[in-house]
Structure 1
Amino acid sequence: MNWILLLLLCLVISVSINSSLICSMSDTNGEECCTSLVPYVKPVILREFFGDHRNVTIGGRMFRLHQDWQRNGVAGVIWDSGIVLARYISEHPELVANRTVLELGAGLGLPSIISTYQNAKLIHVTDRLSAVSLLGENVRQNANNDCDMKIFAFDWNIDKLPQKYQVILGADLIYGGITFEPLVKLFEDASDHDTVIYLCSKIRYERDQDFYRQLLQKQFDVREIFYETEFAVNIFEIKKLANYCSTRMYEEKKNVTTDAVILSMCDECGIKSLVLMRNGL
């Protein structure tokens, strides 16, 4: 009898150990590999990611977004930053109205979808090749088809953009182990004299702050224009300093004989940049 009890005890211990190791995340696409005999109940905070769709209401319209975490990983679900940026565009249609728009790392494309209802002139919606199929499905089913749109695969590490844009959108572009330099270079190359970049993200780690600091070092003006308290998400407005001078500072400072000082600050992240520009810029 004792050996039977011992055997049962060993079995219980074995199952307990296995249940603590039931799921591991793939390094390549975030796919879960579950091997435990014990049923796994996903945490409540993650359940919305594993559903095959999610309904989001913005500006009185309900958008049904198809999700696929298993195939697309982080690009296959809607994140808080995407919702916040889309809402902000809906509430401030002048940001995209009659402008050419590029969305990078679009995922399910919600900010671009909203932009189609705000009279954007042209919208290019991009993400990596493996994400384009789901992205296209969501955009076609939810967007205003009267808008001039194009969906295509784009990798900012290697690809070149077909043109410059007046507005560049990005939600949660900084995550994982991506390198900053190619994205910063892209912003430099894609920015025209009146280009405005709107990035929406949570400041989770020191590296998130480092990205915005690097933009400041590359002569960009970075300003926090909105903080969403529900999701703890920031929206930053970014311009090349040369562009900023030509569009806002030149008329104000052209008759000033002393140095003009631009101070860009983000109190939430502790980002500060002090740039002295000689009269005559």
Structure 2
Amino acid sequence: MALVPYDENVLPALSKIHSSSAEFHFASHRLRLAQDWNRLGVAAVVWDAAVVLCMYLELGHVDLKGKTVIELGAGTGLVGIVAALLGANVTITDRKPALDFLSSNVNENVPPELQGAVQVSELTWGEGLEHYPSGSYDLILGADIVYLEETFPALLKTLDHLSSENTGILLSCRIRYERDERFLDMLRTRFSVQEVHYDKQRDIHIYRAARIRNKSEL
């Protein structure tokens, strides 16, 4: 998740986000993710969108073995870690202030034999994209990264740079406001977008996007 303010009126159980850790069982591994709301805010909390996306990946809806994957706004790193446990080569990214925290979670939860399949890297959306090979990823993942309207153009620019016609994009999010729908409308100007999963209990949508083939550059 991006290091930005979050509307506390929509937060679920406050006790969950203020806990120092969160535990999960994915891909036959017990995971314990550190959380640090007081220091890093939304970037250091496991949100429902990340959990639902991990469940979706674990069910095998996407073939991850040997795939080149990048996670945007990773926060605690849960989604990228699970993708690596499921066989992907993963670059897990977030802004610089979150990297030490993110790296610690990766080191604590990725087995030694898989550490080489995971890279933690700084990425501020829309900036320094030349450090990431254009269109070279099989899959782009994002959990709860669609909620601050001022970041939408930079996020779209980043998705555009990282993807090719062969890249899949999975975005897991709660649609809270009209601005979230506006991002989906922006996304549809360059990508085909379809909802592939909805978790009714958590009110989380997963959208799959793919670059529109033969679409002229805007």
Query: Is 1:230 equivalent to 2:201 in the alignment?
Result: yes
Structure 1 residues 145 and 89, CA gap change in structure 2 (3 angstroms): farther
Q: CA deviation at 1:124?
A: 0.4
Q: Which residue of 1 aligns with 2:171?
A: 199
Q: CA deviation at 1:189?
A: 1.3
Structure 1 residues 44 and 214, CA gap change in structure 2 (3 angstroms): closer
2:152 to 177, 180, 196: 180
- The question of whether the paired residues in 2 share the 8 Å contact of 1:168 and 1:197 is answered with yes
Q: CA deviation at 1:174?
A: 1.4
Q: Give the partner amino acid of 2:60.
A: H
| 1:58-207 mapped onto 2 (5 Å cutoff) | 58-92=26-60, 94-120=62-88, 122-147=89-114, 148-160=117-129, 161-163=131-133, 164-207=136-179
Structure-2 separation of matches of 1:28 and 1:59: 30
Query: Is 1:221 equivalent to 2:192 in the alignment?
Result: yes
Q: CA deviation at 1:53?
A: 0.8
Structure-2 separation of matches of 1:168 and 1:94: 12
SS of equivalent residue, structure 2 residue 92: strand
Q: CA deviation at 1:59?
A: 4.1
Structure-2 separation of matches of 1:177 and 1:193: 26
Q: CA deviation at 1:94?
A: 3.9
Rg larger in 1 or in 2? 1
Q: Give the partner amino acid of 1:101.
A: V
Structure-2 separation of matches of 1:65 and 1:212: 30
SS of equivalent residue, structure 1 residue 95: coil
Structure 1 residues 145 and 229, CA gap change in structure 2 (3 angstroms): farther
Question: Which runs of no fewer than 5 residues in structure 2 stay unpaired?
Answer: none
TM-score calculated relative to the size of structure 2: 0.86
Structure-1 separation of matches of 2:52 and 2:111: 20
Structure-2 separation of matches of 1:132 and 1:61: 23
Q: Percent identity?
A: 32
Q: CA RMSD in A?
A: 2.3
Q: Give the partner amino acid of 1:131.
A: A
- The question of whether the paired residues in 1 share the 8 Å contact of 2:165 and 2:212 is answered with no
SS of equivalent residue, structure 2 residue 65: coil
- The question of whether the paired residues in 2 share the 8 Å contact of 1:103 and 1:170 is answered with yes
Structure-1 separation of matches of 2:12 and 2:132: 42
Structure-2 separation of matches of 1:28 and 1:199: 18
Question: Which runs of no fewer than 5 residues in structure 1 stay unpaired?
Answer: 1-26, 31-42, 246-281
Greater alpha carbon shift after TM alignment, 142-151 vs 230-239: 142-151
Q: CA deviation at 1:146?
A: 3.0
- The question of whether the paired residues in 1 share the 8 Å contact of 2:54 and 2:82 is answered with yes
- The question of whether the paired residues in 2 share the 8 Å contact of 1:113 and 1:144 is answered with no
> Higher RCO, 1 or 2 (CA under 8 Å, sep at least 6)?
2
- Paired residues, what number? 205
TM-score calculated relative to the size of structure 1: 0.68
SS of equivalent residue, structure 2 residue 124: coil
